[in-house]
Amino acid sequence: MSMTWTRRRALQSLGLWMAGSPLLEAQHEVPKLIGEPPGRITPREELVNTLEVDAVAQRVLPATVYAKVAGSDRRAFDRMTFRPRMLVPVRNLDLSVDLFGTKHFAPILVGPASRQARFHPDGELALVRGAAAGKGVAIISSHSSQPIEKIAGEAKDTLWYQVYPEPDMGPVIKRVQAAVQAGCKVVCLTVGTPYLPAGQGGPPNPAKLATLGNPALDWGVVDQVRQAAKVPVLLKGIMSPEEAQAAVQHGASGIIVSNHGGRFVEGLATPIEVLTAVVDGVGGKAPVLIDSNFRRGSDVVKALALGAKAVLVARPALWGLAAYGGDGVRTVLELLQSETARTMALCGKPTLASLDRTTVQIHRR
> Rounded distance, CA 339 to CA 137, Å?
18
What is the C-alpha to C-alpha distance for residues 348 and 90, in angstroms, rounded to an integer? 7
Contact call for residues 271 and 314 (beta carbons, < 8 A): no
- Mind telling me the catalytic residues? 260
> DSSP string spanning 60-75?
HS-HHHHGGG-----H
Query: Which positions ≥6 away from 103 have C-beta within 8 Å?
Result: 96, 97
Say what the pTM is.
Answer: 0.84
Q: What is the pLDDT of residue 334?
A: 97
58 has pLDDT over 80 = yes
- How high is the pLDDT of residue 194? 55
Statement: residue 4 has pLDDT above 70: no
Q: What are phi and psi of 92, to 5 degrees?
A: -100, 60
**How many whole angstroms separate alpha carbon 100 and alpha carbon 313?**
19
**Mean pLDDT for the stretch of residues 214-233:** 84
- At residue 252 the predicted structure's pLDDT band, cuts being 50, 70 and 90, is very high
The model's pLDDT over 185-210, given as tens digits with 9 standing for 90+, comes to 999 999 876 554 544 444 545 444 43
Length of the chain: 365
